Chain A
């Protein structure tokens, strides 16, 4: 199952200069998908970018689940930048330290309403924690 933006899976927290993002889900992977939704929603309102479809496959190895969140988000940002678009749907699986994900979205059109560019995911306020409902993944992204 993939995750697209909704209030239950994605949220934000305060940071003076940048923006704190939160992903929530029943599993760590789902929480990561939610965090990706929150991050890309800063750059474009979901559903408002309707250019040519783009996809990306992300794969990396990481033992530390918190560093894995940062790697996931930064790999998505690099792929989106390379394809000149934004992603809105995410799917991530994990096999031990091996993470495999996919993202789908759309290329920018010249007249799209833009949001704010995210430069990268930082290690500030970085946490991946169990909650009463499942898992929560959060960090500050630099904008």
Chain B
């Protein structure tokens, strides 16, 4: 990153210098080292986002930001429909509502270790993962329409888990405003065999141990303590979401001129929120969010079933389920005025602070759980949203470690089998059908997750609660 193009606001916030003629502002969050290591493309992309109509406040990049398509990964931007604000398919991404479901358990590391090999094998057998791998469900269009409108509530109705845990899922497992008719037949076809599947790339199911607690009060509220086993599931809306993303990206890019929008980058394909095109994308995107919520509900149930086979007395309850590729309608105060805004988070997590009524009552005093998913060899963080994040970033925070190296470069540096053997020697069991995927996901291909989490806290976006070390990882 060319740091001369940035003005320092404070130790963790940087403003992109702009010509006098440009009103819009773009900001990068992170300490100097993280920001300096970001690709210049992040600057270019967040600068482009800042030019979109109806932007409220700055366009922002989180501490884990890296070059994406359209928005940078780690990009956050809020738009006001009453000021010509837009909704952008490129601001959500293809893996709509990709996110993390985290379950806390009554197990400890001592319970896990004697059985970890067999558990890893069983999870690998029971959790459909990888390109081309389907789940046990084969669904018709009517079922899919129900999933698109009911989300995780559909999955509970089918016997996947308990309705009570939906309190700990964003939107209680079902977002309103989904319109299955705005989803193409092709998208529905792609989803027929994909409910209850993990997918590929950076998706995973991990059995982790809570290695360190940073904030005792928040950890107590979340039901987390050192030595405890937790399970995290990272995946999204699968083929249906991918198809919606691809279709609307092209159709909105082609429609932009007709809708009077000059796109600084075609990938920022968007439409005014109050246009028929914008509403249509919103209906389809919400349908995909519900599919993702249902998918993680099913996978959580499958994981619970496998783990309780080994540990019949164990309880696995949802700590929280939060997405990081969405556009959501939220009420935020900006310039002393409450406004309904369309907040795009592409590779960024919602992070409501204490007192927000959308947070489960049990967590309301400490803030919403935020999950930063790290690499399979390093670890992940649970954080809590802060009051400060509301004014800093429309209540948003980092979502992962963030890549620091391309997949192509990672393939040149690491070999899947060797890497898996090295991780095993370090007490981390990997199960995957893709040696290529393992090499692409090498821990060294990611930024330092400790630095990202510390910068997220330093920037006031969320505070660290606990660090999780992977013990078993099923990779897609």
Contact = CB atoms under 8 A, between A and B. Distances in A.
A128 to B, nearest CB: 13
Interface in A70-128: 70-71, 74, 77-78, 81-82, 84-86, 108, 112-117, 119-124, 126
A17 to B, nearest CB: 5
Contacts of A124: 69-70, 267
A14 B410 CA distance: 11
Q: How large is the interface on B (under 10, 10 to 19, 20 to 34, 35 or more residues)?
A: 35 or more
A143 interface: yes
B164 to A, nearest CB: 33
B228 to A, nearest CB: 32
Given A74-B246, A114-B437, A117-B131, A17 B67 contact: yes
A123 B249 CA distance: 8
A32 B201 CA distance: 24
A108 B269 contact: no
A16 B433 contact: no
A114 B406 contact: no
Interface stretch (B77-85, B186-194, B210-218, B287-295): B186-194
Contacts of A113: 433-435
A114 B408 CA distance: 16
Contact of A115 (B69, B405, B434): B434
Nearest to B189: A82
Contacts of A123: 69-70, 90, 249-250, 253, 266-267, 269
Contacts of A85: 132
Given A16-B41, A119-B245, A122-B249, A114 B434 contact: yes
B409 interface: yes
Interface string B179-191: 0000000100110
Contacts, number: 135
B157 to A, nearest CB: 26
Nearest to B416: A113
Interface in A1-47: 12-19, 43-44
A95 B121 CA distance: 52
Interface string B9-41: 000000000000000000000000000000101
Contact of A117 (B134, B249, B476): B476
B433 A78 contact: no
Contact of A19 (B66, B132, B408): B408
Given A17-B73, A123-B69, A124-B70, A116 B436 contact: yes
B353 interface: no
A86 B66 contact: no
Contact of B254 (A13, A19, A67): A67
Contacts of B91: none
Interface in B399-447: 403-409, 433-437, 440
A124 B68 CA distance: 9
Most chain B beta carbons < 10 A, residue from A44, A74, A84: A74
A116 B407 CA distance: 10
B144 to A, nearest CB: 14
A78 B190 contact: yes
9 contacts: A17-B68, A70-B250, A74-B250, A116-B201, A119-B242, A120-B243, A123-B250, A123-B253, A142-B94
Given A122-B249, A123-B253, 14 more contacts: A16-B406, A71-B250, A77-B242, A78-B243, A84-B132, A85-B132, A112-B132, A116-B407, A117-B476, A119-B242, A122-B267, A123-B249, A123-B269, A124-B69
Closest 8 interchain pairs by CB?
Answer: A117-B200, A117-B131, A124-B69, A120-B246, A16-B67, A108-B132, A119-B242, A114-B434
